[in-house]
Amino acid sequence: MTRMDATVTPLRVGLLGYGLAGSVFHAPLIATTPGLALDTVVTSDPERQAQARTAGGPDSGGVRVAATADELFDRADELDLVVVATPNRSHVALARRALEAGLPVVVDKPLAATAAEAGELAALADERRLLLSPFQNRRWDNDFRTLAALLDEGALGEPHRFESRFERWRPKPKGGWRESGDPAEVGGLLYDLGSHLVDQALTLFGPAVSVYAESDVRRAGAEADDDSFVALRHASGVRSHLWMSATAAQLGPRFRVLGSAAAYVKYGLDPQEAALREGARPARGMPWGVEPEFAWGALGALDETRTVPTRDGAYPAYYDAIAVALREGTPPPVTAWEATAALRVLEAARTSARTGSTVSLPD
């Protein structure tokens, strides 16, 4: 995806929420995407409001702030896109409100708490002929892009097992809604990190036909799942094993992918999130998402392996594609129907973990 000409009159974006997702991911990426302009940020916190006013960059003229979603929707005609980066429990209501106001919407993952809710939003967007796209930025992780290229090249032969991990060592809960045991909050790692892991597996290997899962609360004082495992059998025949944990004192490989001709093993996390957290911003023509050679993964069999240069991470490509989709009417980079399919898997995983059974999914 080539970046849009910066001379094009930018599309005005309203950002709902300025916590982790809004301030670290969405605001910087929107503000640095040619063709988009961060117009308004909604947050009721005075300190975050002060930070948000400068989030559009030095040439933006300043970002407007609003304390409530009502204030933003009262001037919906001044916006071209709404991004929902609020706590999970409010995603559906705010996305529906934006669509009903005639506005395209990007929604941070998970799109909804259930596949049924996601499907209703997707149908509403289709009916209104409006863009609705979940923010599945991990499709533009450096390791995922590298693996996808290797699979396209046939470098592994026929893939048969995909192992993928998002593991952390956080022995003490931080609290907050993400670790709340209230089902309405849609917290826990299964729906947080699991949303990324399942989306990546389905993107690479197609629909799942069965799901088995284990989900536990390991840490003292924790309320939501902090150590979960999901096994998928894809219609393609590939099996995916997905781990998400806050209790891993030593980390396993990010990817271990086995095929008929070779395996690919990769450790470490994509560097883009850490860079964004530290205040770095992608700039056109400048290196971004670059990984040092010592972190590259290995491809091959037994002792006959070679390191594979990791492709650069490319989070900016998501909003580049959103800008193009809005102007040209092309499909968004991630669709709401894809999120609906992933939520069916997550719901089946929750059922499997509760019952100890394997759950079949309809074709």
Written as one string, the DSSP assignment of 291-314 is --GGG-EEEEETTEEEEEPPPPP-
- Mean pLDDT value of segment 142-146: 98
Q: What does the block give as tokens for 312? A: 């650069």
- Mean pLDDT value of segment 87-96: 97
Query: According to the model, what pLDDT value does residue 67 have?
Result: 97
* Confidence at 2, pLDDT banded by 50, 70, 90: very low
- Mean pLDDT value of segment 293-318: 97
Q: For residues 251 and 271, what is the distance between their CA atoms, to the nearest angstrom?
A: 16
- Mean pLDDT value of segment 42-49: 95
Q: Which residues fall within 8 angstroms of residue 160, CB to CB, at 6 or more apart?
A: 237, 238, 239, 258, 259, 260
CB-hemisphere CA count at 13 Å for 22?
A: 25
* Confidence at 5, pLDDT banded by 50, 70, 90: low
Architecture of domain 11-137+318-331: 3-Layer(aba) Sandwich (3.40)
Instruction: Report pLDDT digits (tens) over 226-241.
Output: 999 999 999 999 999 9
Architecture of domain 141-314+344-360: 2-Layer Sandwich (3.30)
Looking at residue 164, its amino acid is S
Dihedral sign of CA atoms 196, 201, 202, 208 in order: negative
- Domain ranges for the chain, please list them: 11-137+318-331, 141-314+344-360
Q: Is the predicted pLDDT of residue 1 greater than 50, yes or no?
A: no
Query: According to the model, what pLDDT value does residue 282 have?
Result: 95
- Mean pLDDT value of segment 308-326: 98
Query: According to the model, what pLDDT value does residue 60 have?
Result: 63
Q: Which residues fall within 8 angstroms of residue 72, CB to CB, at 6 or more apart?
A: 14, 16, 40, 42, 66, 79, 82
Query: According to the model, what pLDDT value does residue 58 have?
Result: 67
Query: According to the model, what pLDDT value does residue 177 have?
Result: 85
Q: Which residues fall within 8 angstroms of residue 335, CB to CB, at 6 or more apart?
A: 122, 132, 133, 134
Identify whether the C-beta of residue 138 lies closer than 8 Å to the C-beta of residue 147.
Answer: no
Q: Is the predicted pLDDT of residue 308 greater than 90, yes or no?
A: yes
pTM of the model: 0.94
- Mean pLDDT value of segment 83-106: 97
Q: Which residues fall within 8 angstroms of residue 194, CB to CB, at 6 or more apart?
A: 228, 230, 242, 244, 346, 349
Instruction: Report pLDDT digits (tens) over 208-224.
Output: 999 999 999 999 989 99
